[in-house]
Structure 1
Amino acid sequence: MELLLFMFLTVIPVISDGLTVLGPSGPLVAPLGSSVVLPCSVDERLSVEGLEVEWRRTESETLVHLYQEGESQTESQQQDYQDRAHFFTDQIQHGNFSLRLDDLRAEDEGQYKCKVYIQQESGETVVQIKDVERLRVSGSSRSISASVGEDVTLNCSVDSHIPPGDFEEVTWMKTDENIQVLLYQDNEGHSPNERYRDRVELFPAEIHKGNFSLRLKSVRTDDKGVYMCQVFAGDLSANATVVLERLGFSALHVMMLILCISASGSALLLFCLIYCRFNTKGTNTTGKYSDLL
């Protein structure tokens, strides 16, 4: 889930050396993995010539983004912010120096300083990312293969600052058939669908770690498909999918099949031997009888 936050309605002006720079009215809050906009602007049009804008972390002076000589100097960025921190290039001429920070991480929490230089004037404002709300769900990056009759685990791991016990709901759905496979609610899990009843369960000892992986027992051929693990916590929700495919026969099934084929072949061979022996005896008896005549 991605969210782009804009906070331009109310701004706090900061004056330094004659240039008034506008920032947000308060701290920013955004979900982990989302995109957030850190507001920074002036209320007048500035010439791009001689304009310089710096975005830095206040506690470490780490360079997050630099605009200089009419373009973004991306090679000067701290490596952690390369390809994640961007200007709205078409808005610079209008005095908008806001920074878009993508793929928000927990370590992005903190204060950022936007400092604007133009000729002999300068000004700055400070923006704080107060909370990064973490709710990210990951499943399996690859499809899972299973054998008919065996058990299989469908992975679902939750990264969140919220204790797993406080999650309002976790559901497992078979999305290609729109079937609710399992519902975890009020610290209890059960299957509302008869097809999966007594065949699905979570791992209770792992739930406090944010592990909501699903164990599917006695796999059937019709279990093949796409499964989604979805987590709900207040206004936040996130999901991940797992693909179960290539449902083949287990080693036990293959062995039994070979034994059956072998047994069938042995029975057929025995029948042929008996038949041939009987025919041979019959021929010999007839021959002896003919000799007597």
Structure 2
Amino acid sequence: MSAVTASLCSTLLFVGLFVFVSAAPLSDKKIIAQSGEDVTLTCRAPNKNNIIVVEWSRADLGEEYVLLYRDEHFDTTNQHPSFKSRVDLQDRHMKDGDVSLILKNVRTDDSGTYECRVFVGEIRRKRANLSGDSISIIHLHVVPPDQKNLTAASGQNVTLTCRAPNSNNIIVVEWSRADLETEYVLLYRNEQLDPENQHASFKNRVDLQDRQMKAGDVSLILKDVTSNDTGTYECRVFQRERIRRKRAHLKTDPITVVNLHVVPPGQTGGDTQDGGKEAGEKEAGGKEEGGSVGLIVGLTVFAVAVVIAVAALVRFVIYKKRKKQQSQGSYI
């Protein structure tokens, strides 16, 4: 009888513990993030002690999960490939029940509804498959990369602006153009430019505006542009551990897209990304203004010359007339 009572008490204790976790107030939040940012999906367990499993999932991923932490380490067996090496717990010690998720370098396909679950007790199965209610639901929406339009006159130097949202620990910067396929415009890694797979037309013509990348500035300087430079340029950064491959192949959304259109000298185009007149139009306007000023100055000089010539002619006629009168007086 005592054995049955002990078993029943143990069962009731486990059920009570599990119900306590499941009955915690549900947190439902919405987060909007820019492509390329690191975001934190907050979650706090009501039972701060003896948390042995933390699971973050997304309904549209099916059986694969975002993160599973068990036995004091991450279980990547059934983790969705897109989240590998991109997720972590904010505090692996889970102090005060903090089981928040850090999602690095977000992209548009990370948009979705994330659910947080914890389990207190002992699980022997390889996959958690927690049947309890979520204690936190977060709706994440990742905004597409910033797009800009830029028009420049052939022969100019142009700057394609790009700023990383997370300015710390930028180890790779890549500027690419879709029509160049595997070749890139610029690749900066290991604190230097990597020219190995750079497209031939950009060699010795591109550079970063600030190689120190202060405040996340990874803008591209493109020198002496031609019509062949017209295209859509994409800016990407990499901020995790060092890449050992020669080619970065950053499988992330660009943080900035710049549509560059190069026109012949003297032609006007559209607006720049800051809403002002583009450089080619300014130059053409400057030339027209300079031509008008030159014409006015030329006409003024010509008019003064005519006045001087007329005055000289009048003085000459008066002089001749006086000479003639003096000659006639002497004769008389």
| TM-score, normalized by the shorter chain, greater than 0.5 | no
Name the larger-Rg structure: 2
Q: Please, what TM-score do these two structures have when normalized by structure 1?
A: 0.44
More strand by share: 1
Q: Please, what TM-score do these two structures have when normalized by structure 2?
A: 0.40
